[in-house]
C-alpha cells in the first residue's frame, strides 16, 4: 500500500520539530556597485530589521528549518536568500555581504526556469512514495507543490518556463510513434500563472506528443490564462512566430524551438501546413530574428542537445551563438534535464541547459536545478544571478546546505571552460567574466585527520572557485561527489516527503544533532538500505571512493554493493534483478562512530546507471536489537590523479596520502 500524504507529513513534522532555537543572523547589504545601503529592510517571517548606515544588520529569528531572508530597499530590486541551519552554522557570526541590484529607467528583471510538466509519478507514484497530486484536486495540490518557489518567481518583471507537455482533461489518443509520450491536466496552465510565470516555451519534443488533438487542448487551456506562449502551432509559420509583449513600453519577442524533428513519422516538427514544434537551427534563427519587429528585445529558447550530458553539444553551441550573432539578447537552452554551463558571449548570455524545474525524474542528477535571474538594461545584459534549486521529491525548492554547494560547484565547473565564472552572493552566485585571479590555494602543513575524502567546503573553499593545495610530505587528488545528498540534511525540508533512499520497516531518517539514516536490527536477518534509485550520470571506469561515517551501539556487519542497470534493462527490472558487485564491507566490533572509505572503479561498459546498496546485519555473536546509523555519505569520482601540488581543478572532495 502506498503511504498517504498525511502519513508523509506526519513523518516530516517529527523530523522538522526536533530542533528549534532562536539565533541572530547578521550580515551586510550593499548595492551592486558595492556601496552600503542604509535602511534596507531584511525580513524573515514576522521578524524585520533595517540596516544601519554601513549596510549592516542583525536579525533575531527562530530557526526550526530553512530561513528565507527577504531583502529590499527603496530604489532596488527585492531579492530572497534562503539558508538552512547548517548554512548559518558554517557562516558563523555573519553571512557576509549580500548585493542587491539598483533600479533605473529601462532596467527589468527577468527569470528563467527549466523543464515543467505535471504527469506520471505526480499522480501515480512509485511504490513506497507519497502521492503529490490527486485527480480532482490538481490546482489545490499543485499549489502546495509550487508554494515554496513561488515567492522567487513573483520577484521578476517577466518569468519564463519551458512547458514540456501538452495539456488535456480528456484522454488523448492520437499518439506519435515515439518511445515516451505524456500529457498533463489543463490546470497546469493556471498553476504556472498562479506561481508567477508570464510565458511558457512550447518548442520542445513533447509539445506534439498527441499531435493536433493535444495541441488544440493545450491552446484551449492556455487561452483561459494570461500566459503568453510560442514555439508550437498547427502550421510552420504559426509555430515559428514569436510571442510579443511589452514591459513598460519596451517590446520583447520570445522565440522557442526544438532542435530535431525525430526519427519517426510523422515527425514532431512543424513543416509547411503540418503542425508541430518550431524546428530551429542557426539558419532558422537568422531568418526569424531578421523578422522580429524593430526595437524589440529578442529572447531565443532552444530545446536540443543530449540528455544527461555535462557539456553542450557542439551543434547547440553553434546554433545559440548564431542566435546572439544575429540579434538575440539572450539564449536559453533546455532538454538535457541536467545543468550545463553558462557562457557570456559578445556581452550577451547563453545558458546551455536550465535542467528541471517541475519534473518527475528520479535520476539523482536531474534533481539539481536552478532559477536564472537576468537584469536587462533595454537590449543590454546588465547582470545575471543563479538561484540554486533542488527538485526534492519532484518539488522545486531553494537548495540549501550541501545540495546548494553541489549545484553551484557543477555550474561553476562547467562554465569556466566557456570563459565564465561565478561569484558568491549570499545564497546565490553572480555570473561574471573570468578574471586573471589564480585558483584559490591552501597551504597545509598536514592533511585533515579522519578516514576517507574531506569535503572541500570544510576547508573554507567556495564552490565557485577551483582549488589547488600545497602540503608537506603528502600527495592529494581532487574529486566530485555524485551522491550529493549523503548528509541527509535536505531530506524533508520545505514539507517534502523526500525520495531517493530505501526506507521502510526498520529503516528511517531520524533527526538529532543532524539527520541520519538509521537501521534497527530486530532479528538475525539482513536489512537493506541505500539509494532508492539509480544515478545515470557517472564516469565509466573512474576511480571512485564511497565513504562516510557509521555509528553502532553494538557489533554489526555491513556490506556495500554496487548495482548496475544494464543498457536494455527497464527501471523495474534493474531494481529487482540488476547485477550486484560487492565493493567492500565492515565488521564493527565497538559501539560508537567509525569512519570508512571503500575504493573501487566505476563500471567500464554495458551500464546505463548505478546505485549503492547497503546491507546491514548483526554480528552472529551479538545480542539482538542493534541500531546502526549512517551519516556524511559521499560517492566521490576522482578527476585528477595523485598530485604533489600546483595543479588546479574544481572539486567537492579532496583526499590525501603520504608521498611515496
- pLDDT tens digits, residue range 124-166? 998 878 899 999 999 999 999 999 999 999 999 999 999 999 9
Residue 224 has pLDDT above 60, yes or no: yes
pLDDT at residue 435 in the model: 84
Residue 17 has pLDDT above 50, yes or no: no
Distance CA 177, CA 645 (A): 55
Q: Are strands 166-167 and 395-398 parallel, antiparallel or unpaired?
A: unpaired
The residue-averaged pLDDT of 110-127 equals 96
Distance CA 575, CA 107 (A): 51
Counting residues of the chain whose pLDDT is more than 90, the rounded percentage is: 82
pLDDT at residue 468 in the model: 85
The pLDDT tens digits for 389-409 are: 999 999 999 999 999 999 999
Residue 582 has pLDDT above 60, yes or no: yes
Q: Are strands 199-201 and 228-230 parallel, antiparallel or unpaired?
A: parallel
Residue 51 has pLDDT above 80, yes or no: yes
CB 172 within 8 A of CB 126: no
Task: Identify the three-state secondary structure at position 411.
Answer: helix
How high does pLDDT run on average in the chain? 93
**Confidence label for 509 from pLDDT (cuts 50, 70 and 90):** very high
Q: Which three cell numbers stand for residue 593?
A: 562512530
Distance CA 169, CA 183 (A): 9
The pLDDT tens digits for 303-337 are: 999 999 999 999 999 999 999 999 999 999 999 99
DSSP state letters, 219-250: HHHHHTSS-EEESEESSHHHHHPPEEEEETTE
Cell 551563438, residue located: 321
The residue-averaged pLDDT of 338-367 equals 97
> 370: closest CA among 383, 382, 352?
352
> 499: closest CA among 7, 13, 8?
8
- DSSP H helices in 93-210: 138-146, 150-153, 187-195
**Confidence label for 15 from pLDDT (cuts 50, 70 and 90):** very low
CA triplet 72, 74, 78: central angle to 5 degrees?
25
Cell 533595454, residue located: 378
> 535: closest CA among 546, 550, 548?
546
pLDDT at residue 618 in the model: 85
Amino acid at each position: 500500500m502506498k503511504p498517504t500524504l498525511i502519513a508523509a507529513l506526519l513523518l516530516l513534522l517529527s523530523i522538522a520539530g526536533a530542533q528549534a532555537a532562536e539565533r541572530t543572523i547578521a550580515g551586510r547589504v550593499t548595492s551592486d556597485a558595492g556601496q552600503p545601503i542604509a535602511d534596507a529592510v531584511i525580513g524573515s517571517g514576522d521578524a524585520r530589521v533595517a540596516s544601519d548606515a554601513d549596510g549592516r544588520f542583525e536579525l533575531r529569528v527562530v530557526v526550526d528549518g530553512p530561513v528565507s531572508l527577504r531583502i529590499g530597499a527603496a530604489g532596488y530590486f527585492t531579492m530572497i536568500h534562503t539558508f538552512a541551519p547548517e548554512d548559518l552554522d558554517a557562516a558563523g557570526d555573519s553571512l557576509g555581504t549580500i548585493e542587491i541590484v539598483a533600479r533605473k529607467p529601462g532596467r527589468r528583471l527577468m527569470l528563467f526556469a527549466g523543464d515543467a510538466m505535471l504527469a506520471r509519478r505526480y499522480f501515480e507514484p512509485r511504490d513506497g512514495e507519497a502521492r503529490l497530486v490527486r485527480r480532482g484536486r490538481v490546482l489545490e495540490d499543485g499549489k502546495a507543490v509550487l508554494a515554496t518557489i513561488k515567492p522567487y518567481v513573483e520577484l521578476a518583471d517577466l518569468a519564463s518556463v519551458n512547458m514540456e507537455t501538452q495539456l488535456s482533461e480528456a484522454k488523448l489518443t492520437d499518439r506519435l510513434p515515439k518511445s515516451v509520450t505524456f500529457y498533463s491536466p489543463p490546470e497546469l496552465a493556471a498553476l504556472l500563472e498562479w506561481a508567477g510565470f508570464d510565458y511558457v516555451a512550447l518548442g520542445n519534443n513533447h509539445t506534439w506528443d498527441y499531435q493536433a488533438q493535444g495541441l488544440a487542448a493545450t491552446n484551449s487551456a492556455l487561452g483561459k490564462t494570461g500566459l503568453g506562449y510560442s514555439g508550437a502551432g498547427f502550421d510552420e509559420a504559426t509555430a515559428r512566430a514569436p510571442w510579443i509583449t511589452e514591459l513598460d513600453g519596451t517590446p520583447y519577442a520570445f522565440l522557442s524551438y526544438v532542435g530535431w524533428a525525430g526519427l519517426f513519422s510523422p515527425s514532431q516538427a512543424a513543416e509547411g501546413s503540418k503542425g508541430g514544434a518550431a524546428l530551429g537551427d542557426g539558419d532558422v534563427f537568422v531568418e526569424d530574428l531578421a523578422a522580429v519587429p524593430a526595437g524589440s528585445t529578442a529572447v531565443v529558447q532552444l530545446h536540443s542537445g543530449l540528455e544527461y550530458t555535462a557539456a553542450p553539444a557542439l551543434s547547440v553551441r553553434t546554433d545559440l551563438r548564431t542566435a546572439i550573432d544575429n540579434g538575440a539578447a539572450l539564449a536559453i537552452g533546455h532538454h538535457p534535464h541536467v545543468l550545463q554551463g553558462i557562457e557570456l558571449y559578445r556581452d550577451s548570455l547563453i545558458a546551455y541547459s536550465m535542467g528541471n524545474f517541475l519534473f518527475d525524474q528520479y535520476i539523482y542528477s536531474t534533481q539539481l536545478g536552478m532559477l536564472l535571474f537576468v537584469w536587462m538594461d533595454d537590449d543590454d545584459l546588465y547582470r545575471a544571478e543563479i538561484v540554486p534549486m533542488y527538485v526534492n521529491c519532484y518539488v522545486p525548492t531553494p537548495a540549501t546546505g550541501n545540495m546548494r554547494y553541489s549545484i553551484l560547484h557543477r555550474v561553476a565547473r562547467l562554465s569556466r571552460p566557456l570563459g565564465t565564472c561565478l561569484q558568491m552572493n549570499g545564497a546565490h552566485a553572480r555570473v561574471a567574466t573570468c578574471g586573471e585571479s589564480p585558483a584559490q590555494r591552501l597551504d597545509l602543513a598536514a592533511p585533515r585527520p579522519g578516514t576517507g575524502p574531506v569535503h572541500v567546503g570544510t576547508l573554507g573553499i567556495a564552490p565557485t572557485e577551483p582549488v589547488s593545495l600545497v602540503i608537506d610530505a603528502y600527495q592529494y587528488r581532487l574529486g566530485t561527489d555524485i551522491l550529493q545528498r549523503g548528509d541527509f540534511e535536505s531530506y524533508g525540508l520545505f514539507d517534502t516527503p523526500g525520495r531517493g533512499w530505501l526506507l521502510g520497516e526498520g529503516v528511517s531518517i531520524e533527526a538529532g544533532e543532524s539527520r541520519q539514516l538509521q537501521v534497527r536490527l530486530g532479528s538475525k536477518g539482513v536489512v537493506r538500505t541505500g539509494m532508492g534509485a539509480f544515478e545515470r550520470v557517472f564516469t565509466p571506469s573512474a576511480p571512485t571512493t564511497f565513504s562516510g561515517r557509521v555509528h553502532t551501539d553494538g557489533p554489526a556487519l555491513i556490506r556495500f554493493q554496487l548495482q548496475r542497470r544494464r543498457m536494455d534493462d527497464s527501471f523495474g527490472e534493474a531494481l529487482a534483478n540488476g547485477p550486484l558487485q560487492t565493493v567492500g564491507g565492515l565488521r564493527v566490533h565497538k559501539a560508537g562512530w567509525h569512519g570508512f572509505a571503500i575504493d573501487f572503479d566505476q563500471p567500464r561498459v554495458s551500464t546505463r546507471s548505478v546505485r549503492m546498496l547497503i546491507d546491514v546485519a548483526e554480528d552472529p555473536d551479538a545480542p539482538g536489537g542493534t541500531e546502526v546509523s549512517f551519516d556524511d555519505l559521499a560517492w566521490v569520482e576522482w578527476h585528477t590523479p595523485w598530485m604533489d601540488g600546483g595543479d588546479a581543478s574544481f572539486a567537492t572532495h579532496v583526499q590525501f596520502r603520504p608521498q611515496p
